[in-house]
A and B are shown apart, each in its own frame.
Chain A
Amino acid sequence: DTAVSQTPKYLVTQMGNDKSIKCEQNLGHDTMYWYKQDSKKFLKIMFSYNNKELIINETVPNRFSPKSPDKAHLNLHINSLELGDSAVYFCASRYRENTEAFFGQGTRLTVV
């Protein structure tokens, strides 16, 4: 069983569209994250939820909206996609602070 799973794995879409990426973890962790890895391979934290509560919200455009229906799921909705949103988006979870983070396989988003 995959511990942290994201869908879709690949997403190609046109500018201006709205898209969602889903993430689920079966590790029983309380904390989940969204990271963005751009073309320079720099991995930046975007959001974090702890037990469905938003605890980290980095400087991210309002077009990005995370949603956590329960502590096993963290979805990312992106409105009005722009070329600069093209990147790999990783979901991650961890048991508690200062422990290992487990990553999903990533969603490679290409905006054309």
Chain B
Amino acid sequence: RKEVEQDPGPFNVPEGATVAFNCTYSNSASQSFFWYRQDCRKEPKLLMSVYSSGNEDGRFTAQLNRASQYISLLIRDSKLSDSATYLCVVTPYTGGFKTIFGAGTRLFVKA
């Protein structure tokens, strides 16, 4: 089993739709979790951190489920500019210099 797994997609959704991605991780001792966004031929950039209590930033909501070992990202009212690859990132243990990236989920938002 991979350390971090994501559905690669692509997810094709119309503008205004709500879309959700999940990401599962294998190490129950994982300490920190993030969602990054990567545009085509660009570097990854932090979208949001994922806290135990969840995290919301405008149209974006991230949740952590430690019991089932997954994190989720919900995007409401999708915009064309949301089209990108969304990377799930997990730090697998304490002393978290090492971060594991998922392979990413591609999202296409259509007019």
Chain A residues in contact with chain B, CB under 8 A?
31, 35, 40-45, 48, 50, 55-56, 90, 97-98, 100-101, 103-106
Given A41-B85, A43-B87, A100-B49, A106 contacting B96 (CB threshold 8 A): no
> Are B103 and A97 closer than 8 Å at their CB atoms?
no
Q: Which residues of the partner chain A approach B95 to less than 8 Å between Cβ atoms?
A: 97
> Are B46 and A100 closer than 8 Å at their CB atoms?
yes
Q: Which residues of the partner chain B approach A106 to less than 8 Å between Cβ atoms?
A: 42-43
The closest CB in chain A to the CB of B95 belongs to A97
> Are A43 and B101 closer than 8 Å at their CB atoms?
yes
At the interface, yes or no: B31 with Cβ under 8 Å from chain A?
yes
Given A42-B103, A43-B101, A90 contacting B96 (CB threshold 8 A): no
The closest CB in chain B to the CB of A41 belongs to B104
Q: Which residues of the partner chain A approach B32 to less than 8 Å between Cβ atoms?
A: 98
Contact of A48 among B46, B85, B91, B98 (CB under 8 A): B98
> Are A103 and B45 closer than 8 Å at their CB atoms?
yes
Q: Which residues of the partner chain A approach B99 to less than 8 Å between Cβ atoms?
A: 45, 101
Given A103-B45, A106-B43, A98 contacting B104 (CB threshold 8 A): no
Interface string of B69-111 (1 = CB under 8 A from A): 0000000000000000101000100011111110110000000
Given A31-B97, A50-B97, A98-B31, A105 contacting B42 (CB threshold 8 A): yes
Q: Which residues of the partner chain B approach A56 to less than 8 Å between Cβ atoms?
A: 97-98
Q: Which residues of the partner chain B approach A103 to less than 8 Å between Cβ atoms?
A: 43-45
Interface string of B25-50 (1 = CB under 8 A from A): 00000011010000000111110010
The closest CB in chain A to the CB of B8 belongs to A41
| B108 → chain A closest CB, angstroms | 15
Q: Give bound CA distance, A97 to B87, whole Å.
A: 19
> Are B103 and A41 closer than 8 Å at their CB atoms?
yes
Contact of B91 among A35, A41, A44, A97 (CB under 8 A): A97
Q: Which residues of the partner chain B approach A98 to less than 8 Å between Cβ atoms?
A: 31-32, 91, 96
